[in-house]
Amino acid sequence: MPQRHYLNRFVKDFKNYTEKYVDFMHYTVPLVTGQSGGYKFPSEYIGQYGVYDALKHIYSKSRQLSHLINANGSELHVSKRYFACDLEKGILSIRS
């Protein structure tokens, strides 16, 4: 089975039996709970900037969304209502 890396907000709820389905977790909220036997799920804390960089990359590669990045690239304008729809359009345009 191929390796599966996931991006999630938390890693605190992942137990050792979850490794059958997920190989590695990248997480954005630094909450980790202790497990029995000192087990720690294979993961990496990436913080919020990793998410911002990924979104900026998607928006910059899409002709429809590139105008939502300001001139110096420090701000990204997103819609609360249409964020998921815009993101999906950006991903599909990159794939095609």
What pLDDT score does 1 carry? 52
List the domain range (segments joined by +) for residue 53: 48-95
Total tally of structural domains belonging to the chain: 2
* φ, ψ at 6 (rounded to 5°): -125, 150
Structure confidence by residue, pLDDT tens digits, 5-62: 787 888 877 788 888 888 888 888 887 777 778 888 888 888 877 778 888 888 888 8
Residue with the bigger pLDDT between 1 and 28: it is: 28
| Same domain assignment for residues 38 and 56 | no
| Same domain assignment for residues 40 and 52 | no
In this prediction the pTM is 0.52
% residues pLDDT > 70 (the chain): 98
Going from the C-alpha of 73 to that of each of 33, 51, 60, the distances in angstroms are: 36, 15, 9
| Same domain assignment for residues 60 and 86 | yes
Q: Give the H or E element holding residue 49.
A: helix 47-61
What pLDDT score does 27 carry? 85
| Same domain assignment for residues 36 and 53 | no
* φ, ψ at 9 (rounded to 5°): -75, -40
What pLDDT score does 10 carry? 82
| Same domain assignment for residues 75 and 90 | yes
Token code pair at residue 45: 């804390």
d(CA 17, CA 52): 31
| Same domain assignment for residues 18 and 29 | yes
Structure confidence by residue, pLDDT tens digits, 48-69: 777 788 888 888 888 888 888 8
